[in-house]
Structure 1
Amino acid sequence: MYLADEAWPDLETYFEEESLALVPLGSTEQHGPHLPEGTDHLIAEAFAREVADRTGYLCTPTVNIGVSPHHRQFWGTMWVDAPVFRDYVESLARNLTYHGIDRIVFVNAHGGNVQHLREVGRRLRDAGDAYAVEWMWDDAIPDLVDDLFEQNGPHGGPKETAMIQYLHEELVHEDRLDDAKEGGVPSVAATGNVRHGSRTFYDAIDNTDNGVLGDQTDATAEKGEQLFDAASDQLEQLCEWLANQEFEALLPKEHV
């Protein structure tokens, strides 16, 4: 069920009977010369709406702009400051708790959001208002990602390329895949910017002139479909597990 498509009287039964909501989040930022700036939020929304259709759980509208200042040197990248993002997402989540939701899955497709969504989840849990977890699609299927791609990225690499080829092929500049590979770098390790255990870079452009890593020419829509189906299965299982938990068991334990 997609919240924004429903009239309010038709949502009452859901909020009376169910306690779980899916909240898709991504970013609007550069993904190299070949992918749209909406790559992350397009992927997040696709997963959330797919699993909402499968399960009947509620899916909210997508948070399209995330914590992306590390891509700011590339044209069109948009971002909000981390404290603003955390407060916004927490406020959005509390909208849901007002209507009776007490467990939330943040369906996330942007690495820059991860730590901030974890912090929001902690705030909500510590307050006893909701149990919210962050879910990242490629973290759900790491073995498959590794099996499909020799150089999988992470950013703007073949896994994201394959996903957008499958979900929105019309947005992929297929004629730029070679340029993306040749103008980028194979991996973060290959940049030489991890020194003595420290990540000595802050921005994407410190690592790659065109904003991407990995071998984009290794991507296909067929691989994207494999990734999408496998990760959707994992998200569906997470939702069912979470919906079946006693809420009290999800809250912080008492002090020893």
Structure 2
Amino acid sequence: MYVADQTWPELGDYVASESVAVVPLGSTEQHGPHLPLSTDHVIAESLAREAASRTGFLCTPTVNVGVSPHHRQFHGTMWVDAPQFRDYVESMTRNLTYHGVDRVVYVNAHGGNVQHLREVGRRLRDAREAYAVEWMWNDSIPELVDELFETPGPHGGPKETSMMLHLDPRHVRSERLVDAAENGLTDWSDPETVRYGSRTFYDAIDNTANGVLGDQTDATAEKGERLFEAATEQLVRLLRWLDDQPFEDLMPRDHVDPQPGSRR
């Protein structure tokens, strides 16, 4: 159920019996010479909409711009600063809680958002307003990713390329896959930007001249379909599990005994 397609009475019927919402989040950032800047938010929205369709749970509009300053040297990349991103997502989630939602899954497809979504979830949980948890699609199916790709790459690699070949092939520049692989980074087992245990890099361009990692020539639409189906099934399971949990069981646990000040 996509929230913007409903009328307010229909949404009233929903929150009278349900309290789960799915919030897709991604980015608008460079993904190399072969993938569009929309890659992350297309993947996030597609997974969220599909899981919502299969479960009947509510799906919100997508947050298309995320925390991406580490890609800023590449043309077109958009980003918001981390504090503003956290505040925006928290405010948006509190909007949902006002309408009766108290369990939220952030369907995320951008690594730069992860720690900030976790922080927002902690804030909301500590305030006992909602249980909001971040879900990253490729982290839900690591065995399949390893099975399909020799060098999957954390950004713009064959796993994201395969997903986009499945979801939005007309915007994939297939003629640039070889270029992406040859001029990107395919071996980061001994990176020059890690010295004496310190990660001395901050931006993507510090590691890869064309902004991508992994062997993009290993990508196919068929692999993308397998990734999409497997990740969607994991998301469906998460949503159904979350729906089954008593709200109090999702909230912070009490301080261990003895309680502070109990012996004063």
Q: TM-score, normalised by structure 2?
A: 0.96
Q: How does 1:83-232 map to 2 (within 5 A)?
A: 83-232=83-232
Using the TM superposition, give the Cα deviation of residue 147 of structure 1 relative to its aligned residue in structure 2, in angstroms: 0.8
Partner SS for 2:249: helix
Using the TM superposition, give the Cα deviation of residue 229 of structure 1 relative to its aligned residue in structure 2, in angstroms: 0.3
Using the TM superposition, give the Cα deviation of residue 190 of structure 1 relative to its aligned residue in structure 2, in angstroms: 4.6
1:70-107 deviation per Cα after TM superposition (whole angstroms, max 9, x unaligned): 00000000000000000000000000000000000000
- Tell me the amino acid that sits aligned with residue 148 of structure 2: L
Aligned-partner Cα distance in 2 for 1:198–1:146: 27
Q: Do residues 55 (structure 1) and 55 (structure 2) align?
A: yes
Count of residues in correspondence between the two structures? 256
What corresponds to 1:72 in structure 2?
Answer: 72
1:88-127 deviation per Cα after TM superposition (whole angstroms, max 9, x unaligned): 0000000000000000000000000000000000000000
Aligned-partner Cα distance in 2 for 1:151–1:197: 23
1:212-256 deviation per Cα after TM superposition (whole angstroms, max 9, x unaligned): 000000000000000000010000000000000000010001111
Q: Give yes or no for contact 1:154–1:187 (8 Å, CA) kept in 2.
A: no
**Cα RMSD after superposing both structures:** 0.7
Q: Give yes or no for contact 1:153–1:187 (8 Å, CA) kept in 2.
A: no
What corresponds to 2:21 in structure 1?
Answer: 21
Using the TM superposition, give the Cα deviation of residue 8 of structure 1 relative to its aligned residue in structure 2, in angstroms: 1.3
Q: TM-score, normalised by structure 1?
A: 0.99
Aligned-partner Cα distance in 2 for 1:91–1:226: 35
Change in Cα spacing, 1:115 to 1:210, as seen in structure 2 (3 Å) is same
Partner SS for 2:107: strand
Using the TM superposition, give the Cα deviation of residue 187 of structure 1 relative to its aligned residue in structure 2, in angstroms: 4.0
Aligned-partner Cα distance in 2 for 1:6–1:36: 30
Q: Give yes or no for contact 1:185–1:191 (8 Å, CA) kept in 2.
A: no
1:117-157 deviation per Cα after TM superposition (whole angstroms, max 9, x unaligned): 00000000000000000000000000100110000011000
Q: Do residues 10 (structure 1) and 10 (structure 2) align?
A: yes
Aligned-partner Cα distance in 2 for 1:234–1:140: 6
- Tell me the amino acid that sits aligned with residue 154 of structure 1: P
Aligned-partner Cα distance in 2 for 1:28–1:194: 27
Provide structure 1 residue ranges, at least 5 long, that are not aligned to the other structure: none
Aligned-partner Cα distance in 1 for 2:69–2:113: 11
Change in Cα spacing, 1:181 to 1:128, as seen in structure 2 (3 Å) is same
Using the TM superposition, give the Cα deviation of residue 9 of structure 1 relative to its aligned residue in structure 2, in angstroms: 1.6
- Tell me the amino acid that sits aligned with residue 59 of structure 2: C
Q: Give yes or no for contact 1:26–1:66 (8 Å, CA) kept in 2.
A: yes
Aligned-partner Cα distance in 2 for 1:206–1:70: 9
Provide structure 2 residue ranges, at least 5 long, that are not aligned to the other structure: 257-264
Using the TM superposition, give the Cα deviation of residue 172 of structure 1 relative to its aligned residue in structure 2, in angstroms: 0.2
Aligned-partner Cα distance in 2 for 1:183–1:7: 50
Aligned-partner Cα distance in 1 for 2:175–2:23: 34
Using the TM superposition, give the Cα deviation of residue 6 of structure 1 relative to its aligned residue in structure 2, in angstroms: 1.0
Larger radius of gyration: 2
**Share of identical aligned residues, percent?**
71
